[in-house]
Amino acid sequence: ILNVEQSPQSLHVQEGDSTNFTCSFPSSNFYALHWYRWETAKSPEALFVMTLNGDEKKKGRISATLNTKEGYSYLYIKGSQPEDSATYLCALNNFNKFYFGSGTKLNVKP
Amino acid sequence: KAGVTQTPRYLIKTRGQQVTLSCSPISGHRSVSWYQQTPGQGLQFLFEYFSETQRNKGNFPGRFSGRQFSNSRSEMNVSTLELGDSALYLCASSGGQLPGAKNIQYFGAGTRLSVL
């Protein structure tokens, strides 16, 4: 079992704040790191897939970085909006066997 | 293009019974994975099927089993239900032609199972 940890568990920010979360994973035998967003009453949706050390991905106000040597990934949200409220999950893809973290629950107050 | 469809959405069973959940993947997807989420836990990987074969398996007891049909639809079965099996069960499909780094998972809405 590969241990994937996310921090913080939850976060409350004001609209307009920028925020970031961390995903930590074992650095050995790295294959790919996925980020998903899971809104209440919906299905998890993929945000990013990263495979190479130093990868940076961006989608609108959300971006992510990857450090496979030290075993962590950061997710950044710039200028948070209420619609960003969701649980953000990271998952280590180990040859199609996925190990998910427990998620960071983000609440953005208007 | 239709998404991943899971049926039923809700189920109530009693201890000792068995249950079968169904998952229809996105058309063209050959990989189907199953996950369990219990309160306070992240998504726990149950197993993955690809082209009717179980390709990966998580650390769950043998009471949890699955299968995949030639049209890629998958079923998950849990026998001798226990109270602790109460959870949200999600399935996800992906292209999965090879153990590929970019096999993004497309999730269904889930089946919420309550065991009384």
Chain A residues with CB under 8 Å of B92 CB are 44
B7 token code pair: 């049926």
Chain A residues with CB under 8 Å of B48 CB are 96-97
pLDDT(B102) > 90 = no
Cβ contact B45–A93 (<8 Å): no
pLDDT cut 90: percent of chain B above it: 80
- Across the range A24-53, mean pLDDT stands at 91
Cβ contact A44–B100 (<8 Å): no
The helix/strand/coil state of A68 is coil
Q: What chain B residue is nearest to A41 in terms of C-alpha separation? A: B109
The confidence band for B37, taking pLDDT boundaries of 50, 70 and 90, is very high
Interface of chain A against chain B, CB under 8 Å? Answer: 1, 4, 31-32, 34, 36, 42-46, 49, 51, 89, 91, 93, 95-103
Whether B99 contacts B33, CB under 8 Å: no
**Quick check: bond before A82 cis, omega within 30?**
no
Cα separation of A13 and A105, whole Å? 11
Calculate the CA dihedral of residues B11, B13, B19, B20 and round it to 10 degrees. Answer: -10
Cβ count within 10 A of residue A9? 12
Whether A80 contacts A36, CB under 8 Å: no
Instruction: Give kind and range of the element (H or E) at residue A24.
Output: strand A19-24
| Contact status of B97 with chain A (Cβ, < 8 Å) | no
State residue B88's pLDDT score: 96
- Per DSSP bridges, beta strands A104-109 and A10-14 are parallel
Q: Pick the range with the lowest mean pLDDT from A41-45, A75-79, B93-97.
A: B93-97
Chain mean position to CA B53 = 14
Cβ contact A91–B44 (<8 Å): no
State residue A97's pLDDT score: 86
- Across the range B89-105, mean pLDDT stands at 79
Chain A residues with CB under 8 Å of B3 CB are 43
State residue A2's pLDDT score: 82
| CA atoms B59, B103, B78, A102: torsion sign | positive
Inter-chain CB pairs, A–B, below 8 Å: 69
